[in-house]
Structure 1
């Protein structure tokens, strides 16, 4: 461990790049695995590393040769079996950050904001210190808005119960510092982290996320996790989160809830936000109507290329929807006036900014009817090499658009997010094992 850091704080490891000896990136640190025992210190036994494909694997500390600012160096040997937490193991970031402990000096409670790790000998690390803030942290969203109490660094044995005090579950644990450690994660990656947590911890993390961020994460979670989290939210907040979701994703989630709960949440939603969701619920799941989103980019024929590019440039628009502008007669909210045709992004990029969209329409591809089957939608997307298709009613009004990502969600097995490979790639180099 020559030249390596011998003292560090665990939260700073979150997101740190992991490299093999040749300098090829293996993945990024997502958590630190420790063992809390009745006697002796908390041993740090390894890192949870996310490798390409969003697979989380275990890298033992015995294979970590160096930890420096911004990087972790391994021996290059990575077991690609998906990490599964054992009963004797503790995820230090996921389970200990934001935990409330009692200080042994009698000065009251404190909240753990970071964890101090020390290298006691070559490749042997221990949890020795806690960075805490006096007092109990506010729970839920309030915990992200204010912090009170002074901070201090203490030894692990300075809390009531010492090491075993950390093993006792916090009845009402916040998630402010855990989320701060993973703040840079995209919704898909944060969803993967949340999926791996215990049900109790998932609910606590969801309570600490703002509505927009939680909505983005819910769209990426398996169905069971979505239902569990939404059902744990207070009714008004659950309705606000559904309003922040894409209408098609909100409709998919609501359709899986008990009828009474679904209707109650729909009634709590803003009527303008609930209306497109109700329309989508009228269609069967595996039809164009059930698959479509009601919020594609829609413009009038006299709108210009410059206006169209400004719309598709919006950061909140997902990639498939940003590839096409649907041109319709007013009104431009779905269901629109008569659908005229599609202006594809590639064509827009080749035309002068002042050109009217009505001059650039692609009318060669027939729009979908809302009752088209999933198989028919898939064939049409594949036949014309498209990532989105318009859906119109029998009178030619645009109802929405089906995108390739929604089709894939319905074609893949329900448990595709949990799919694992049986191959154990033990002994390969980090670059090869990570599929680099």
Structure 2
């Protein structure tokens, strides 16, 4: 970037695409790395953490950045694919500096009023390729929701003090706002790479539904860690917001007394679904299934089915078909009659009864069907979900391909990629 370039606030860089010189996308900005300096000298910006297409986080030095403009970052095209590992002297700008409580520097260098950091700005130094954090955007007050009415102002880096101190109970509202548009899987990846302290603070700042979606995408160790740091009532609320099969998988990793305590705090209907799933072996159709597929009665129409399929909170796999059953239409249902695929729903008039469209030739799975057989079933019939039916003919739930993949991949699949190389990064 040329000398005299405009100042850039870092919250505007979160998730911004990174391109090489020929226009191919390398990845997206996950965070920025800075090094604090002695005295009140502005921190030097070392580089950017970029999440590449394989979800690996790599380090791109600022000397490799040739442009930061128009909602994109341009690199020289030479990207070291070694996994980024934060060094003790480094600070993650988004992950660690936002939401900090610092103090304004008063007359004579004395510490003054406490403020909350909302954002920081970076700028390239004239005639050099170095970058610095030169401005801090703050809100007066002690932080938290009530402080949102406080006065905001932008000050020089030297005008505040306290960034080098370890802070307990650091807020996370502004970091959460910065990551607001990330998909749950991408937010989970960002959360995973924060320190345990910061991870707990960010989790506490997310609403129940958002945290539930993120927990479903995290490794088990992170799930257990985060759930263990929530108050039990909040943990129960988050478990209620999770898909029952994911909630059951998480609870199965906890000691029995903790399981029971949390299940008791959950709403009875939600707890009943989870208890039912916990009764099955983990690597069986019953242990893998969700208890909330789309169930319709025989007298429902194509229009009714399409209205259910359009529900926003449904996963693509669950929306790919509906299951026709006699009442009751909550699992476990009355007699299972068959499956109607989404593509068939699109081909028939809206007034057509779904009972006339069922694929009754497709055999359902039993709850004790082992994982390899479930995998073979989905592959053989080219399905993204399969019905699970008990001996009496009642639909218990559905197994989706994403849950099968989670159990087929290695436990650490989120952390490993092909052609793994050594960790670290260059300056």
Shorter-chain TM range is over 0.9
What SS does the aligned partner of 1:194 have? helix
Distance 1:118 1:170 in 2: 26
Answer yes or no: is 1:309 the counterpart of 2:306.
Answer: yes
Query: Which digits, 9 at most, give the CA deviation of each residue in 1:246-267, with x for residues without a partner?
Result: 0000000011111111111100
Query: Does structure 1 conserve the Cα–Cα contact (< 8 Å) formed by 2:4 and 2:124?
Result: no
Query: Does structure 2 conserve the Cα–Cα contact (< 8 Å) formed by 1:79 and 1:424?
Result: no
Query: Which digits, 9 at most, give the CA deviation of each residue in 1:359-402, with x for residues without a partner?
Result: 11111121111111111111111111111110111100000001
Query: Does structure 1 conserve the Cα–Cα contact (< 8 Å) formed by 2:63 and 2:130?
Result: yes
Which range moves more in the overlay, 329-338 or 343-352? 343-352
Which residue in 2 is equivalent to 1:433?
none
Query: Does structure 2 conserve the Cα–Cα contact (< 8 Å) formed by 1:305 and 1:351?
Result: yes
Query: Which digits, 9 at most, give the CA deviation of each residue in 1:334-379, with x for residues without a partner?
Result: 0000000000111111111111101111111211111111111111
Which structure has more RCO (C-alpha within 8 Å, separation ≥ 6)? 1
- Indicate how the Cα distance of structure 1 residues 3 and 91 shifts in structure 2: closer, same or farther if over 3 A, else same: same
State the 1:423 CA deviation. 5.4
Which of 127, 130, 151 is residue 133 of structure 2 equivalent to? 127
Query: Does structure 2 conserve the Cα–Cα contact (< 8 Å) formed by 1:14 and 1:29?
Result: yes
Segments of 4+ in structure 1 off by > 4 A? Answer: none
Answer yes or no: is 1:22 the counterpart of 2:22.
Answer: yes
Which residue in 1 is equivalent to 2:425?
none
Query: Which digits, 9 at most, give the CA deviation of each residue in 1:220-279, with x for residues without a partner?
Result: 000000001011001111100000000000000011111111111100001011110010
Query: Which digits, 9 at most, give the CA deviation of each residue in 1:9-57, with x for residues without a partner?
Result: 1111112221221222222211111011335431001011122122221
State the 1:424 CA deviation. 6.0
Query: Which digits, 9 at most, give the CA deviation of each residue in 1:194-223, with x for residues without a partner?
Result: 000000000000000000000000000000
Distance 2:113 2:147 in 1: 20
Query: Does structure 2 conserve the Cα–Cα contact (< 8 Å) formed by 1:82 and 1:420?
Result: no
What SS does the aligned partner of 1:192 have? helix
Normalising by structure 1, we get a TM-score of: 0.92
Which residue in 1 is equivalent to 2:120?
115
State the 1:69 CA deviation. 2.9
Query: Which digits, 9 at most, give the CA deviation of each residue in 1:310-336, with x for residues without a partner?
Result: 111111000111111000001000000
How many residues of Structure 1 are paired with residues of Structure 2 in the alignment? 416
Query: Which digits, 9 at most, give the CA deviation of each residue in 1:136-186, with x for residues without a partner?
Result: 111xxxx4x8613111111122223xxxx3121211101111111111101
State the 1:82 CA deviation. 2.0
State the 1:5 CA deviation. 3.4
Which residue in 2 is equivalent to 1:419?
416
Query: Does structure 1 conserve the Cα–Cα contact (< 8 Å) formed by 2:21 and 2:74?
Result: yes
Which residue in 1 is equivalent to 2:217?
220
What SS does the aligned partner of 2:407 have? helix
Query: Does structure 2 conserve the Cα–Cα contact (< 8 Å) formed by 1:5 and 1:66?
Result: no
Answer yes or no: is 1:47 the counterpart of 2:48.
Answer: yes
Query: Does structure 2 conserve the Cα–Cα contact (< 8 Å) formed by 1:298 and 1:328?
Result: yes
Query: Does structure 1 conserve the Cα–Cα contact (< 8 Å) formed by 2:66 and 2:76?
Result: yes
Query: Does structure 2 conserve the Cα–Cα contact (< 8 Å) formed by 1:5 and 1:67?
Result: no
C-alpha root-mean-square deviation of aligned residues, in Å?
1.6
State the 1:3 CA deviation. 8.3
Which range moves more in the overlay, 27-36 or 80-89? 80-89
What SS does the aligned partner of 1:30 have? strand
Query: Which digits, 9 at most, give the CA deviation of each residue in 1:40-92, with x for residues without a partner?
Result: 43100101112212222111100111111311111111112222211121101
Which residue in 1 is equivalent to 2:149?
148
Answer yes or no: is 1:192 the counterpart of 2:215.
Answer: no
Q: Unpaired segments of 5 or more residues in structure 2?
A: 423-427
Which range moves more in the overlay, 8-17 or 199-208? 8-17
Which residue in 2 is equivalent to 1:68?
69
